[in-house]
Amino acid sequence: MMRHPSAWMGLLLWSVLGRANGAWTVNMHPGATEVSNAVFSLHMTIFWICVIIGLVVFGAMFWSMVLHRRSTGQQPAQFHEHTRVEILWTVIPFLILVAMAIPATRTLLHIYDASDSDIDIQVTGYQWKWHYKYLGQDVEFFSNLATPAEQIHNNAPKDEHYLLEVDQPLVLPVGAKVRFLVTAADVIHSWWVPAFAVKRDAIPGFVNEAWTRIDKPGIYRGQCTELCGKDHGFMPVVVEVKSQADYDTWLSERKADAAKLKELTSKQWTLEELAARGDKVYHTTCVACHQAEGQGLPPMFPALKGSKIATGPKEGHLNIVFNGKPGTAMAAFGKQLSEVDIAAVVTYERNAWGNNKGDMVTPQDVLAIKQAQAQ
């Protein structure tokens, strides 16, 4: 019965309202993998079985509601049992259930066979972001919500992928068997990409397995589906599926970047080097709010030029960049930028636009906060 009125109602709404932005979606999407298609057809099979049973049962009900009303002069029959009929309507549903269980079992066994994978990805849930690690590849990163706070607080128009966009998506090759090893670092999360029909709970202390093989390149979006605290609704999953060649290029770039970054964190920096790097970081990450000359857009976005924070003690300055300022648009960049970039941008802000403090924050300082906070 489920999808029967839904389909009708959907059709009705469609004809009335037109297909504005596909928002009146009434059904599951078949998805982009063999498994998701199998699950979809299972879903539709059960749905139609329910519709047929529903038509028979509700049909009988409406029949008697219309024809056996007292106002039609109906004299009530007095029968109250019929053994043969009762046996029949116990046995027939049972047989229908057996018929449903067969394809369901087949699909389930297929889903559980994660052997012979080509790529293994460790997926770790954090409050409130995902961490991906390409096992054996030395590539790992956090994937944070990228939707700006102004959109969430209705101060800016919402994008098409509102709440379903991240700073760094998980990148996978098309056609490869990918195994996900899902775990969590704090509370229970659940990693879900509807287009792959993959949903697995991420449980602290335990590892869960799931797999997929994606047929088409593209960007696939999902969300955390286990209540995990305040920002449960704000930790999307985005997977970008590339051709094998593009994937290989991407992976080697990531590896090079990772190696370079590791080296940079431990390197001894001079103020000039850091400030030069910070200049770039500032102009990609901070400029939208604090503006090119550090003048900001008061009162929403305070100036940095000559500000108390940027010219005060460096610990306070670093702290606000690292942890953000609750209740304002200032995000906690400690989770989004590398140690090097945070050190660089703080150093830059302390020495640009006539702030000329002459001091610097090193990547090691940032690492120290990270460690102190973690305790």
Partner 1 sequence: MSAVIDDHAQGHAHGPAKGLMRWVLTTNHKDIGTLYLWFSFTMFLLGGSFAMVIRAELFQPGLQIVEPAFFNQMTTMHGLIMVFGAVMPAFVGLANWMIPLMIGAPDMALPRMNNFSFWLLPAAFLLLVSTLFTPGGGPNFGWTFYAPLSTTYAPASVTFFIFAIHLMGISSIMGAINVIATILNLRAPGMTLMKMPLFVWTWLITAFLLIAVMPVLAGVVTMMLMDIHFGTSFFSAAGGGDPVLFQHVFWFFGHPEVYIMILPAFGAVSSIIPAFSRKPLFGYTSMVYATGAIAFLSFIVWAHHMFVVGIPVVGELFFMYATMLIAVPTGVKVFNWVSTMWEGSLTFETPMLFAIAFVILFTIGGFSGLMLAIAPADFQYHDTYFVVAHFHYVLVPGAIFGIFASAYYWLPKWTGHMYDETLGKLHFWLSFIGMNMAFFPMHFVGLAGMPRRIPDYNLQFADFNMVSSVGAFLFGATQVFFLFIVIKCIRGGEPAPAKPWDGAEGLEWSIPSPAPYHTFQTPPDVE
Partner 2 sequence: MNGLSLKRLVLRLLMLTVVMFAFGFALVPLYDVMCKAFGINGKTGGQYEGSQLADTTRSVRVQFMSTNASDMVWDFYASDDQLQVNPGAVNQMIFIAHNPTDRPMSAQAIPSITPAEAAAYFHKTECFCFTQQVLQPGERIEMPVRFIVDRDLPTGVKHLTLAYTLFDITARHPPVAQASAGDPGRAR
Q: Pick what 11 binds: partner 1, partner 2, none; C-beta below 5 to 8 Å, kind-dependent.
A: none
| 132 closest CA partner among 164, 169, 185, 179 | 169
- The residues facing 143 across adjacent strands are 130
Residue 353 CB, shortest distance to partner 1, in Å, is 34
206 belongs to the binding site for partner 2 (CB under 8 A): yes
- Judged by CB under 8 A, the chain residues 79 through 118 that form the site for partner 2 are 112, 114-117
User: Could you check whether the bond before residue 128 is cis, i.e. omega within 30 degrees of 0?
Assistant: yes
**Interface segment toward partner 1; rule CB under 8 A; list 89-97, 251-259, 264-272, 340-348:** 89-97
Residue type, 250: W
Among 162, 315, 316, 354, binds partner 1 (CB under 8 A): 162
332 belongs to the binding site for partner 2 (CB under 8 A): no
| 184 closest CA partner among 119, 238, 130, 142 | 130
- CA 151 → CA 169, 172, 368, distances in Å? 20, 29, 33
The conformation of residue 116, written as its DSSP 8-state character, comes to S
Q: Tell me the C-alpha distance between 331 and 152, whole Å.
A: 13
Among 209, 231, 263, 272, binds partner 2 (CB under 8 A): 209
207 belongs to the binding site for partner 2 (CB under 8 A): yes
**Residue 51's Cα: distance from chain center in Å?**
33
94 belongs to the binding site for partner 1 (CB under 8 A): yes
Q: Are 248 and 347 in contact (CB under 8 A)?
A: no
User: Is 140 or 186 the residue whose CB approaches partner 1 more closely?
Assistant: 186
Q: Pick what 95 binds: partner 1, partner 2, none; C-beta below 5 to 8 Å, kind-dependent.
A: none
Q: Pick what 122 binds: partner 1, partner 2, none; C-beta below 5 to 8 Å, kind-dependent.
A: partner 2
Residue 118 CB, shortest distance to partner 2, in Å, is 11
Q: Pick what 173 binds: partner 1, partner 2, none; C-beta below 5 to 8 Å, kind-dependent.
A: none
322 belongs to the binding site for partner 2 (CB under 8 A): no
- 3-state SS, 252-296, equals HHHHHHHHHHHHHHHCCCCHHHHHHHHHHHHHHHHHHHHCCCCCC
136 in helix, strand or coil? coil
Residue 301 CB, shortest distance to partner 1, in Å, is 19
84 belongs to the binding site for partner 1 (CB under 8 A): no
Residue type, 173: P
Task: Beginning with the edge strand found earlier in the chain, give each strand of the sheet holding 119-126 in spatial order.
Answer: 139-143, 129-134, 119-126, 177-184, 208-213
- Judged by CB under 8 A, the chain residues 138 through 197 that form the site for partner 2 are 181, 183, 185-186
Q: Pick what 120 binds: partner 1, partner 2, none; C-beta below 5 to 8 Å, kind-dependent.
A: partner 2
- Judged by CB under 8 A, the chain residues 321 through 350 that form the site for partner 1 are none
**Residue 361's Cα: distance from chain center in Å?**
33
Among 11, 14, 55, 74, binds partner 1 (CB under 8 A): 74
The H or E element containing residue 223 is: strand 218-223
| 353 closest CA partner among 283, 273, 295, 290 | 295
**Residue 342's Cα: distance from chain center in Å?**
25
Q: Pick what 229 binds: partner 1, partner 2, none; C-beta below 5 to 8 Å, kind-dependent.
A: partner 1
Q: Sign of the CA dihedral 226, 159, 29, 237?
A: negative
39 belongs to the binding site for partner 1 (CB under 8 A): yes
- Judged by CB under 8 A, the chain residues 258 through 277 that form the site for partner 1 are none
14 belongs to the binding site for partner 1 (CB under 8 A): no
Q: Pick what 117 binds: partner 2, partner 1, none; C-beta below 5 to 8 Å, kind-dependent.
A: partner 2
- Judged by CB under 8 A, the chain residues 182 through 221 that form the site for partner 1 are 186-188, 190, 192, 194, 197-201, 203-206, 208-209
Query: 198, exposed or middle or buried, with CB in 10 Å at 0-12, 13-18, 19+?
Result: buried
- Judged by CB under 8 A, the chain residues 224 through 253 that form the site for partner 1 are 224-234
User: Is 1 or 271 the residue whose CB approaches partner 1 more closely?
Assistant: 1
Q: Tell me the C-alpha distance between 117 and 345, whole Å.
A: 41
User: Which residues bind to partner 2, rule: CB under 8 A?
Assistant: 112, 114-117, 120, 122, 124, 126-127, 135-136, 181, 183, 185-186, 204-209, 370-371, 374-375
